[in-house]
Structure 1
Amino acid sequence: MKYLKFILFGLVATSISAQAAGAASLVGKKSKTKDYNYSWDTREYFVEDCSQNANKWICKCVLEKLQHEYSEAEFLYINKDLYNNIDHPEFVDFVSTAVDLCDSEYTNSRRNDSYGTGDGLAGLLGGGGGGIATKAKGSIRTPSERDIDISDGAEIRSAADIMKVVRQRTPGLRHVYNKFLKKKPGFQGKVSLKFTIASGGEIISISVANSTTGYSAFDDEVKADVSRWKFNKVKSGNTTVTIPFTFSE
């Protein structure tokens, strides 16, 4: 038994020194278990970035769920794409579900309906907001491509290109709605925003084209949040669009 231990130790040492990458790759291909362990730097980066706009507890909870499904390399690759407005709908759906689960876990752990989080996805995907908000109860319907009215510059940006950003960023407006639901429970409606996107991707002008909410302060905050969205760069020219956002409990 003693010699067997030495043999095993020798085999392990040899594999580590000579073929570590190959062995690691083999394990990765063979194993069906998806639990991963991100590096300290990646974990710290995620929590710090996320907690600028969301509850830190929720950020850590979502990170744990990400490590059950995505490898560190996959996460870093997708995260870079999201910052460059490259769509990953399956990942966004996964994070959205993870946020809802973590919201519920947080609320249950506090055993108090007056606390919760409604802005988790906003923080994770750059929607803005921050802190601990009311328990998420409002919803927002993500506009479809046919909802986008391009009044100028359609030859520069297509509705499909614009939708990539709209689809990613619209869920982040939920935290705005939940915040104002605290002040005026039960209100709902549609806010249509008209804005112009410059060639660099930034929004250079924005206004409320129409609203049925009857709540101008809410409309203005939605406008302010959307004004910070960033679109893909193009060679030249501006594009003006009108997009409706529908909010309901």
Structure 2
Amino acid sequence: MTRQFFVGGNFKMNPATREAKIALAKVLNEATIDPSVEVVIAPPAIYLISLQDVLRKDIKVAAQNCYFKTSGAFTGETSPAQLADSKIPYVILGHSERRTLFHENSNEVAQKTRAALDAGISVILCVGETLSEREAGQTAQVVQAQLEPVIAVLKPEDWSKIVVAYEPVWAIGTGKVASSAQAQEAHADIRSFLASKVSAAVAESTRIIYGGSVTAANCQDLSKQTDVDGFLVGGASLKPEFINIINARQ
């Protein structure tokens, strides 16, 4: 099976101004982009709708987070129903910054994933280990523990709307990047785990993308790995080199 290459850009709490947002949109709108790649960008929530309105139609937008309730007294949160009503097709869930800075655990991530899917939103599901866990040889164990609660609340058919993003925490925003061999090993382990816990068909069809200091300099080698189906890009998604990353397989 040929899995469609996927490149996501997580802007995090950037850009700081509307003018910078417009400049980013201009770069993307004028770029020559590989038509075989699914491209999704995740701006801050305040810019989601306005950016979606001005972007070319072959680039989708994603929310960076959502809550698991449809509505209610949850100050500061955004519901999956609101995203769906605004025609936002994707949401990023379980990012390491949400887990570490905002203390979200894997059960909460699973709840959010279920709620997003029920609202018709596709999910970029983030998993990954810390440096100490990597050095202790616990990468597969940690990632599997993060996936288990999600697997428990999903039906096999739900996986067609899930993109798994393997993001080693030690490589996010540090300039360090997993070697191609390390990325391939982690992705192959995830695919094997999905085969054993869900089905071989789901494992084969689910896209598993890599995130962690992806740049124009390292994306081509990473993209050649059998089980690397794309990238979730942080800082480089705010720069012109994001276009080179999107076109990594050309």
Q: TM-score, normalised by structure 2?
A: 0.28
Task: Give the number of the structure whose alpha-carbon radius of gyration is greater.
Answer: 1
